[in-house]
Amino acid sequence: MGAPDGERLGPYHLLSTLGAGGFGEVHLALDPEGHTVAVKILHPHVAADRTALARLAREVETMRRVQGPYVAEVLDASLEGARPYLVTRYVQGRPLSAVVAGDGPVGGDDLVRLARGLAEALAAVHAAGVVHRDLKPANVILTDGEPVVIDFGIACALDSASVTVSGAILGTPGYLAPEVLEGADSGAEADLFSLGATLAYASTGRHPYGTGPPSAVGYRVVHHAPDLEGVPGWLEPLLQECLRRDPAARPSAAELLDRLGAAGPAVHTAIPRARPSTAATGGRGAVRGQEATHLQDAAPHEAGGGVQELTTRQWRPGRRPAPGRLSAEEARERRRAVLHRRWIVGTGLLVSLMAAAAREPLPEVSLLLLTSYGLVTLVDGGIALFGRRDRSRVVVDLAGAAGAIALWAVLGTFFSTLTLALALGTVVFVLVAILMAS
């Protein structure tokens, strides 16, 4: 069902296939503003389940409210038509599963940051009324020294018989709570169990309920105690509480975050920046380029355990390491800055032409136009300066005012009033045509 590279899907330009899972195929894409995003195209058998799709549509509206530095926000969705898809923030980095498999257990200050970041991520997800349902090491990305949780809410929304096929387990045994394995609804308490298992794996390098066939791992989750040998002393009591069989006995994400602040040692150094690997994991073909990074869990039992959630292997094309995807607020600020520059240039050109055309027949009007434009740009720059906003806005305002005056002087000196009037009319006509076309 894959989409060819270079194809357009709605307003998004697909660049390359990043990975695939039980729900769909993930593509690196560009949004209309040129930002990289992850577009998740649902598999045909998922798109055909209208009940699950309607549930996902309702859940997406809630998922969009989840914001925070430790979550990959849902940016857009189109669940109508032959190829429904979701759009999330693109996260460049290595999954926790690949970091532990390649570099060994996480310890010291790195583990403190990881635990606090994951607890804060779940607190943000739960505060919006969303349940992750498939938190595991493969769905935690280490990027720029911090963990980012991906794919929250999708598994919970698409948990239906036709999507998961008969008798299959939606999720990863060993990280699913016992009540979920026994058929109960998945709530926020189940996410805390998954968080405890994820941190146990990160701190020891071992899956807390062992490996093997999914049925065997699931049996140990329900009936056996987790293997927490090697977990640091400050973290072990908290993981014991998260991994309790009784959901009501587990702490909430907010409570866990508060207790981590008190229990965890002081952080002195940041997590080392995740090193990009040279190829994507096998089984679905290699990803070309030196900036491909793993986002698939390296554990053998996870690869074959039940229906796997949609994951996002990260790849940034190009020769230079690109920065991480901007947050929604940063994207809005950048968009406002672009619109401001266009406004300054466009109005400056228009005012210069009008003032130059009126210079000889109506000198007072000419000076009034230039003065008004200069005052507007100075006020706008002053607000940006004293409001501690982007200082580059002040530079743009001052450059716009100076450029308008210089252009007015040049045009008024070398061109006649009739020529300037014709030029002004042409500019106005073009601007009106552009506005009507847009």
Per the residue annotation, which of 134, 151, 159, 380 is the catalytic one?
134
Tokens in use for 260? 């981590």
Tokens in use for 112? 């403190």
**Annotation-wise, does 136 bind a ligand?**
no
- How much is the CA Rg of the chain, to the nearest whole Å? 28
Clarify whether 134 is annotated catalytic. yes
How far apart are alpha carbons 124 and 129 in whole angstroms? Answer: 9
Residue with tokens 């493969």: 138
- For the chain, what's the residue count? 438
Element holding 372 (H helix, E strand): helix 363-386
How far apart are alpha carbons 227 and 236 in whole angstroms? Answer: 11
Element holding 350 (H helix, E strand): helix 328-357
Q: Helices 108-127 & 188-204, crossing angle to 10 degrees? A: 170
Tokens in use for 94? 């290595």
- What's the count of helices (H) and strands (E) in the chain, helices before strands? 16, 9
How far apart are alpha carbons 123 and 118 in whole angstroms? Answer: 9
Binding-site residue ranges for ATP: 40
Active site residues: 134
Binding-site residue ranges: 40
